[in-house]
Amino acid sequence: MAPGTVPEWTIIDFIHRGPWWTNRGILILNIMLVLPLLTSVTNGLDSSLVNGLQILPGWQDYFGHPEGRDLGLIGFAQNLGGILGLPFTPFISDHFGRRATLFVGSIIMLAGVGVQAASNSVAMFIAARATVGVGLIMCTNAAPLLLVELSYPTQRGKLSSIYNSSWYIGSIISAWVCFGAYMGARDSVWSWRAPSLVQGFVPLLQVALVWFIPESPRFLVSKGLEGQASTILAKYHANGDDARDPLVVFEIAQIRHALRMEEEINKNTSYLSLFATPGNRKRMRIIIAIAMFSQWSGNGLVSYYINLVLDGVGVTRTETKAAINGGLQIFNFCIAASAAMLIDWVGRRSLFIVSNAGMLITFSAWTVSSALYNTMGNAAAARATIPLIFLYYFFYDIAYTPMLVAYTLEILPYKVRARGFALMNLVVMLTSTFNQFINPWALEAIGWWYYIVYCGWLIVELVFVVWFVVETKGRTLEETAAIFDDEYQQHDLRVMGGEAATMSMSRGVIGVNETDEHSGHSEDRLDSPARKEYPQYFELQSRQRRFSDDGDSAVIKSFY
């Protein structure tokens, strides 16, 4: 750096230092964010419930043991509702707010849950599942947006990663609720009506409490409500009521400037905007790819048809299959939640590469063990398949479970964030539909040979991840979204935020500085009243002088 050049301040210079739970504002905010976080639990519960209901004699008898087309429609109905509601959810999120979308989606879900619990025919049950799907897609679009746009900068990566990992909690609850209802009601209609009603617990909480959560500051700034956004950030990010706090000024300046730059690029925002610029095309290439990889890495074989997979290696006892499946869900959650805590330390790109490389190796070994059992009757190979499935999911869960949602939302700019996220969800739905219809047919037709197809595809995935996925840790949400555009925009965002924050602090200490100078005391004294009240400002001033005197730039470590 040339002598006299002013260094770029980053958000690291203004954030809270020390454990987050010692900051009252961050603590209260994180407690509030549990509510949108529960949407993922609901998603896991709703998505897994039909599989659980199918094992209940009471459900089978009441609906006449549905099979074929009826059973397929029952399984697909929720996805169908999601696909029908998907095009409209970004519009509601962007025009009425994240909270309003979550509220409306929860009401629709409650209506669907009521119809499902009261169903007296297969057609009514299918309609109820589709209604639940419409409400769920609205909630799953709005909740992560609210989570990622409202969370404290150092908490954003972890919270958004925990969001998708919580899907497994819902899946576990679904399994145990169905089991408990069966043990308590056996062949009664309440063996399936009661689990259906459980779906309404989280939506009911969200309807009652969502208005107590602050709105996304990004949404408020986009609507010209900067005062409200500053108040929210001051209360929960700066632990006070001072909208002039350097962190608040830094964030507002970056949000405002990012929105202006986006408006220059995307004059009129639509779904076509996702592919209208080189930067957006780079983003969507990665988002569509990781959405496909999340369903087509071989995990769909176990997620939807573990019964056929275990039959293929000689595991036929129902109790054993149930124990393996139940243990796998708990294992998945533990690994995914642990990985969510590591993403800011290890980095997104590193986890994606390790995940894909590990899946390729373990899935190849899984294929070999299945081949040895099916062609040679090797019992040892069959026994090895079970730990290989767990090991495979270990690698899957360290990246695709926690980061599918988190990484997608990070790299999308505000103006197209809701639409880009909706498109990601659509790709997931379509690829999971492929899993539901093609995988069982292929497994029955060619058995373990079908695994070889996934081995080849996993090689493609690994090459793509190494070549295209970029690192995003250590940046604010606005800076992360800008890394796919030119370097000037990234630099501009950092300068705008840093200058605004330091100017805010300088205005706060100017009067005290004058008093100190008049009294003959240096503002740099450690016991200076101004230094005690505004330590960050004087630290920055001291660093700026060192930059100017030495002409060297010290490395500013990321807060991550």
- The phi and psi torsions of 9 (rounded to 5 degrees) equal -85, 145
**Three-state secondary structure call for residue 430:** helix
| pLDDT value of position 354 | 94
Question: Encoding tokens for residue 90?
Answer: 């970004």
Handedness of CA 87, 88, 89, 91 (dihedral sign): positive
Smallest CA-to-CA distance from 379 within 438, 313, 324, 426 is with 313
pLDDT in tens, 530-544: 444 445 444 544 544
CB atoms within 10 A of CB 548: 14
Model confidence band, residue 153 (pLDDT cutoffs 50, 70, 90): confident
Model pLDDT, residue 109? 94
Instruction: Give 203's pLDDT tier (boundaries 50, 70, 90).
Output: very high
- 394 and 363 in contact (C-beta within 8 Å)? no
Local structure of 452: helix, strand or coil? helix
DSSP output for 248-282: HHHHHHHHHHHHHHHHHH-SS-SGGGGGTSHHHHH
Q: Is the pLDDT of residue 512 over 50?
A: no
Angle between helices 318-340 and 167-185 (to 10 degrees): 150
CATH class of 21-213: mainly alpha
Round to whole Å and give the CA distance between 511 and 236: 28
The predicted model scores a pTM of 0.75
Structure tokens of 501? 């924050």
Closest CA to 168 of 363, 320, 396: 396
Is 161 a residue whose pLDDT tops 90?
no
> The tokens of 446 are what?
């060619």
Give residues with Cβ within 8 angstroms of 546, minimum separation 6. Answer: 554
What percentage of residues in the chain have a pLDDT greater than 70? 74
Confidence of residue 214 (pLDDT cuts 50, 70, 90): very high
pLDDT one-digit tens code per residue, 410-421: 888 878 888 888
Do 168 and 44 form a contact (C-beta atoms < 8 A)? yes
Fold classification of 269-497 is Growth Hormone; Chain: A; (1.20.1250)
Torsion of CA 380, 382, 387, 388, to 10 degrees: 110
What does DSSP assign to residue 118?
Answer: T
Model pLDDT, residue 65: 81
2, pLDDT greater than 80 = no
Output the pLDDT for position 527: 52
- pLDDT at residue 146, as a whole number: 92
The pLDDT of residue 544 is 43
**Mean local confidence (pLDDT), 24-48:** 89
**Considering Cα of 116, then 119, then 124, then 125, what sign does the dihedral take?**
positive
Distance CA(517)–CA(522), nearest Å, equals 6
Any idea what DSSP says for residue 8?
P
Tens digit of pLDDT for each residue in 95-124?
899 999 999 999 999 999 999 999 888 889
Residue-wise burial string across 206-234, b where 16 or more C-beta atoms lie within 10 A, e elsewhere:
bbeebeebbbbbbbbbbeeebebbbbbbb
Query: Averaged over 184-209, what is the pLDDT?
Result: 87
Average pLDDT over residues 46-75: 77
The stretch 424-438 carries a mean pLDDT of 81
Q: How far is CA 430 from the centre of its chain?
A: 19
State the chain's mean pLDDT as an integer.
Answer: 77
* CB neighbour list of residue 115: distance below 8 Å, 6 or more residues apart: 124, 127, 128, 131
Q: Which of 425, 418, 147, 405 is nearest to 274 (CA)?
A: 418
Count the helices and strands in the chain (H runs, E runs). 27, 0
Q: What is the pLDDT of residue 5?
A: 45
Residue 450 has pLDDT above 80, yes or no: no
Q: Where in the chain are the domains?
A: 21-213, 216-268, 269-497
**pLDDT tier at 321, thresholds 50, 70, 90:** low
